[in-house]
Amino acid sequence: MSGESERVAHYGDYQNELYGAGLRGVLPKVPVDFATLEARATAAMPRYVLDYVQGGCGDEHTQRWNAEAFRHWGMVPRMLVDTATRDLTTELFGLALPSPIFMAPIGVTGICTQDGHGDIAAAQASAATGVPLMLSTLSNDPMEAVAKACGDTPAFFQLYTPKDTALAESLVSRAEAAGYKAIVVTLDTWVTGWRPRDLNSGNFPQLRGHVLANYFSDPVFGKLLGHAVADDPAAAVGLWARLFGKVLTWDDLAWLRGATKLPIVLKGICHPDDAARAADAGVDAIYCSNHGGRQANGGVAAIDMLPGVVAAAGDVPVLFDSGVRSGSDVVKALAMGARAVGVGRPYLYGLALGGADGAAHVLRSILAEADLMMAVNGWPTLEAVRAAGAARQG
């Protein structure tokens, strides 16, 4: 797939392609709106994958509220502004990015395509659209192969920090050698939250050996295992389970910084005091996220916590995810101060329905909606979006 051939002068021009195809009797194979996309993917995905993808913690109130809370934020349009030309480019870690969205890390991406190579398909969608992929430690293909499939589009590596220090450092050094541009350390998943859908079905994909390629291909993990993974897969899975999830504290930041030359991003920061402390500690970015409501129930919607995190972060860029379903959600998060916005379930559903092309279509649709919202409402640049801001309503 050629990224340059699929990119357009304005992301909103994608609707012209869709309307033009419709005149020829060709309709989108993958829906452009989230509700239809989710319904189609729900019918298509295997139950054990679907429950893990759609499930949240507890009664899933926080997960639902993450998405619903966007409706309580609104923006005021400005008229008589020339928006014939829009600019959605942004800068992150010294990288010039063509848009302000990225593909959020999801630990079962690999099994969301029928061939079990969903991570490669996601990377191909990244290469096609210029939208960076943030690869989860939990992938079905080794990080090196995924990075190669991203082509010229930058990629970031999300780290679930193992208990074994040597293994953690090996994963980080491999990511650096493979060309990833930042290490994104997840802080809220050293233990798995209470997820009734998976518990009721007795299903946890990793315990069945799925999405563990980065561990099984790691030389340090191999030494700790003492034999080839193929010789005793159950033992390999058992070792992974014992090693997963180091409890990180502020004292660990110096070790993390010493483990790599890459930018360090802390994912899961939601309290302003934590954001301020992270900024003072010299992290390169703060990632406001409550894990989409999958790790803890009863929390505040992530979008409602974003303004406080941005204010406390000062000059440190803030990334955001949780509940993003559309281009308008992206614009609202940008207006509230996010430097870049992570898209999760939507692109995963695109993968399930259409592989790399399906995911690319979903990303292009989200960008088109965001671009057209800016065009119609008088915001030609992301700076104008942030200047407009968003107000709580209702």
The C-alpha atoms of residue 105 and residue 156 are separated, in whole angstroms, by 9
- Residue 98's CB: how many other CB atoms inside 10 A? 18
The C-alpha atoms of residue 14 and residue 167 are separated, in whole angstroms, by 44
Q: Is 72 a catalytic residue?
A: no
Among candidate residues 10, 117, 210, 291, the one labeled active-site is 291
Question: Who contacts 230 (Cβ-Cβ below 8 Å, separation ≥6)?
Answer: none
Could you tell me where the DSSP H helices lie in the chain? 3-6, 14-23, 34-44, 47-54, 61-68, 118-129, 143-149, 165-178, 196-201, 213-216, 219-225, 233-243, 253-259, 272-280, 302-313, 327-335, 345-377, 382-388
The C-alpha atoms of residue 179 and residue 84 are separated, in whole angstroms, by 36
Dihedral-angle region of residue 278 (phi above 0 means left; psi in -120 to 50 means alpha; beta otherwise)? alpha
The C-alpha atoms of residue 330 and residue 366 are separated, in whole angstroms, by 8
* Tokens read off for 338: 């996010």
Strands, E, within 314-368: which ranges?
Answer: 318-320, 340-343
The C-alpha atoms of residue 321 and residue 347 are separated, in whole angstroms, by 13
The C-alpha atoms of residue 262 and residue 43 are separated, in whole angstroms, by 41
The C-alpha atoms of residue 292 and residue 266 are separated, in whole angstroms, by 16
CA angle 180, 186, 187 (to 5 degrees): 150
- Residue 24's CB: how many other CB atoms inside 10 A? 7
SS3 of residue 231 by DSSP? helix
* Tokens read off for 247: 């409890």
Asked if residues 291 and 322 have their Cβ atoms less than 8 Å apart, the reply is yes
Asked if residues 187 and 270 have their Cβ atoms less than 8 Å apart, the reply is no
DSSP state of 340: E
The C-alpha atoms of residue 108 and residue 231 are separated, in whole angstroms, by 24
Which residues are annotated as catalytic? 291
